[in-house]
Amino acid sequence: MILQGNDILWAIAGLAAVVFITRNVFVVLPAALQPRGALERALRHVPIAALAALTLPQSLAVLRSASPDLMLVLTDARLPAAVVTVLVAWWWRSALWGMLAGCAVFGLLLVHGAALAELWGSHGQ
Amino acid sequence: MGTAALGTFFWGIATGVAMIKGGLSPVQAIGMTIVVFSGTAQLAALPLMIEGAALPVIWLTATLANLRFVLYSAITANEFRRLPLARRFGLGWLTTDSGIATYLHHREAFAAQPRRRAGLYAGINGLTYGAWISGTVIGVVLAGSLPDSPRLAFAGVLAILGLVGAMLRDAPAWANAAVAGILATLATDWPFRSGLFLAILAGALVATVMTRQPVQPGKPA
């Protein structure tokens, strides 16, 4: 049963505190405890790692199904859209163009993915 | 910079829908979004709140899900160490995944100007905050008509992937993203999103090793 009354307010207040603390842990630590050298350099790579770790599992989710095949990949649409997004963004150095290209592919495959997979399959026979 | 906000906007819509369909009232959902400002924490806590889990369990789960922000705080603490404490707290609280990535991508233009860097950081993340709030409000208002479907949030995923793609400037960046993404995929079902945290560490480690400066003859490493 969902939290009621004051419990929801306490839950939200606690979450706000958790978020504030985790985002400011090192701000309150003294200079002697701040990362230096290789550790500081490593931190620069964390954001890209985090963005990839947050987004690739959803993009690759279709590959974790019991029997992934072309039909499933195309009708699911996420993996092809993700690949197009990254490649277009990398090539044109533009996140926006990458997103637009990926959304176009995503929309196209959601509507026509099954038909495309059948067409591909019939040509391959 | 707007792409990060756009992705957050779509994520906000999906989160708003999820919170209403999960049983929160519109006031609770929007209030939570305004004061918590963390999709990871909100979505990690939501099923526990629906089940009526104990408050410490909810808070601990959110803490573990948000561990990567501890790493981000080390970045912001170093970047803005000359600013007043209150301002550093504010900038730290505004931190988002896409915001800090975008900031590091553009910071070189203001490398020697800490106040302008702070302005850049606040602007990027402030824009993301606005997108998050507005997206969530739309999701809350339209929750009755929108499906609670992962496809709805995927536009947000594509926006973030676009950011990643645009930042893949060299081999270490490619290796970083590939290692982190593949490990996170393999460890999707690990408890408390621990797989996510370890994947981030692994990706950053690989990139650090690949970018370490070569030892010059006659000089210490």
ipTM, two decimals: 0.85
Alpha carbon B123 to chain centroid distance?
Answer: 16
> Is the pLDDT reported for residue B65 higher than 50?
yes
Does B158 fall in a domain? no
Does B208 fall in a domain? yes
**pLDDT, average across residues B139-168:** 82
Domain identity same for B104 and B147: yes
Split at pLDDT 50, 70, 90, the class of A1 is low
Does B162 fall in a domain? no
Domain identity same for B17 and B96: yes
pLDDT at B214 (0 to 100): 60
pLDDT at A60 (0 to 100): 86
> Is the pLDDT reported for residue A117 higher than 80?
no
Domain identity same for B49 and B144: yes
Domain identity same for B201 and B108: no
CB contact under 8 A, A24 and B88: yes
Domain identity same for B114 and B23: yes
> Is the pLDDT reported for residue A36 higher than 80?
yes
Task: Select from A11, A20, A86 the Cβ nearest to the Cβ of B161.
Answer: A86
> Is the pLDDT reported for residue B2 higher than 70?
yes
Q: Are B125 and B2 in contact (CB under 8 A)?
A: no
Q: Where are the alpha helices (DSSP H) in B82-113?
A: 85-93, 97-106
pTM: 0.82
Mapped onto helix, strand or coil, the DSSP state of residue A93 is coil
Does B74 fall in a domain? yes
Residues 9-48 of B with CB under 8 A from A: 22-24, 28, 31-32, 35-38, 41-42, 45
pLDDT at B50 (0 to 100): 87
Domain identity same for B144 and B203: no
> pLDDT tens for residues A48-103?
999 999 899 988 888 777 666 777 776 778 899 999 999 999 999 988 899 999 99
pLDDT at B221 (0 to 100): 44
Does B159 fall in a domain? no
CB contact under 8 A, A55 and B157: yes
Split at pLDDT 50, 70, 90, the class of B219 is very low
Residues 60-79 of B with CB under 8 A from A: 62-63, 66-78
Does B161 fall in a domain? no
**pLDDT, average across residues B175-190:** 93
Domain identity same for B68 and B31: yes
Total number of domains constituting chain B: 2
**Residue B70 is part of which domain span?**
2-153
Domain identity same for B129 and B26: yes
Domain identity same for B17 and B93: yes
Domain identity same for B94 and B191: no
CB contact under 8 A, A12 and B66: no
Determine contact: A78 vs chain B, CB below 8 A: yes
pLDDT at A108 (0 to 100): 87
Domain identity same for B172 and B139: no
Domain identity same for B137 and B191: no
Does B219 fall in a domain? no
Q: Name the residue of chain B whose CA is nearest to A92's CA.
A: B166
Which site among B58, B157, B213 would you substitute to test the A interface, given the most A Cβ atoms closer than 10 Å to its Cβ?
B157
Determine contact: A90 vs chain B, CB below 8 A: yes
